[in-house]
Amino acid sequence: MKLFHSPGSCSLGILILLEEIGQPYELEITNLQQGAHRQPQYLELNPKGKVPALMRDGGGMLTEFPVIAYWLAKSHPGAGLLPAGLEDEVRVMELTEHIVSGLHMRGSVFAMVPQKFTADAAAQADLRQHGQEVVREGFDRLAEQLGEGPYLFEDFTIADAAAYYLMSWTDRIGVALPAPLQSYYDALTQRPAVAAALERGFPNATA
């Protein structure tokens, strides 16, 4: 397997899942800030021009965070990234999709890069405020889901990987984590797979 990953993007969550699985994989840095996702050689592999993208052994590119996460979990059941039982599984998928398509795409994107949608400064401020409110409300719901547990569900799942990448953007979004989520985030950061993903996924980071 080969993951196309950009540091600081949502592909961090897929990198975490690959580390959780514990199977060999290649990592190719596809830096969005440098426009690597728009280069012809990348577009030939992935016409969507985005990350994450996972090239599977034997060929076949997968894109979209929930799809890649689901495939990894179902292809490697021993990692326990999805619960047994259909009802529990769909609840994990439901929350994962909410994090990615809701809090990320309808919240954090507006908060972090409102200039992508309008050149008007006042409109940008309104978009940023709207995005921050979406994320703030979402964080409150995640805190309710977390409750007293160490994870969003009984065990670590793909939803936790999605939540982690979103929580890692708080400085860029401009929204603080509620206290329970801050403790949850700090604990996840110490998880071996997360620590390994952070070390590998940010190759130019300095201590």
Q: What is the CATH number of domain 86-191?
A: 1.20.1050.10
Single out the residue of 168, 145, 51, 149 nearest to residue 95, CA to CA: 145
Q: What is the pLDDT of residue 43?
A: 85
- Give start-end residues of each CATH 1.20.1050.10 domain in the chain: 86-191
H/E run at residue 167: helix 158-167
The string of pLDDT tens digits covering residues 115-159 is 999 999 999 999 999 999 999 999 999 999 999 999 999 999 999
Cα 148 from Cα 134, distance rounded (Å) = 23
2, 25 Cβ separation under 8 angstroms: yes
pLDDT at 203: 74
CA distance 120 to 143: 34
pLDDT score, position 35: 80
Q: How much is the pTM?
A: 0.93
Summarize pLDDT for 151-205 with one digit per residue, the tens.
999 999 999 999 999 999 999 999 999 999 999 999 999 999 999 999 999 876 5
52-107 tens-digit pLDDT:
999 999 879 999 999 999 999 999 999 999 999 999 999 999 999 999 999 999 99
Listed in order, the ranges of the chain carrying CATH 3.40.30.10 are 2-80+195-201
Residue 44 in this model has a pLDDT that exceeds 90: no
pLDDT confidence of residue 204: 64
Looking at domain 2-80+195-201, which of 2.40.100.10, 3.40.1170.60, 3.40.350.10, 3.40.30.10 is its CATH number? 3.40.30.10
Q: Answer whether residue 23 shows pLDDT above 50.
A: yes
Backbone angles phi, psi at 28, to 5 degrees: -115, 120
Q: How deeply is 12 buried, as exposed, middle or buried, from its count of CB atoms within 10 A (0-12, 13-18, 19+)? A: buried
Most confident of 26-35, 40-49, 159-168: 159-168
